Copies of this chain bind each other. A is one copy, B any other.
């Protein structure tokens, strides 16, 4: 689907530090490195569609991938954003089921594809890796429980404030109380993260701007007052 580029071996991959492959045994790392496929993806391209069968695991080297579900009303609910070091599509592979989500590129990305058999072989043989993966899964489960609770119990205003803070954690530059979100999301995508209508996001963002919580410079969002957003994102603001 995309142009294969000369591959960096996993042993030398700088994104590996951030991934679950970070302390994989040398031999397993080589197995993966030899069989993987390095591909460059442009914004908008698709990694996989919901309900298709996984053929392997994607490992993000750079760029941003959105993992989402298409609801029965046609809207996209973004489950998470994956960046450098993140694995994509492994839960469906391990769960031995069709993909429960779709994945597309949000910001131009380079991504490695590790074939099913190789990934599962390493998972089966490297107990330490398996242990780490299970632990990460369990922690992700806690994250999902939080998201579900926020989705049902918080207002859209609260959820948007929270979403901005989390984007700040993942993609913020400058740090401190004032940080620029270094990620290009459309208002519709932000709506997909929060789980609301695009117009509502637009309205609330200008409201936040009026309240000096954020600033809008073209496409980019600057968080001016993280504490204020945090107060707003919790029920009693």
Contact = CB atoms under 8 A, between A and B. Distances in A.
A137 B137 contact: yes
Interface stretch (A12-20, A93-101, A106-114, A216-224): A93-101
A146 interface: yes
Nearest to A153: B71
A97 B142 CA distance: 9
Contacts of A2: none
Interface size on A, as a range, is: 35 or more
Contact of A137 (B134, B147, B196): B134
State the oligomeric state as a number of copies: 2
Nearest to A152: B195
Interface in A117-144: 124, 127, 130-131, 133-135, 137-142, 144
Contacts of A94: 134-135, 138
A145 B72 contact: no
Given A100-B142, A131-B124, A153 B91 contact: no
Interface of A: 69, 71-73, 75, 77, 79, 90-92, 94-97, 100-101, 124, 127, 130-131, 133-135, 137-142, 144-154, 194-196, 234-236
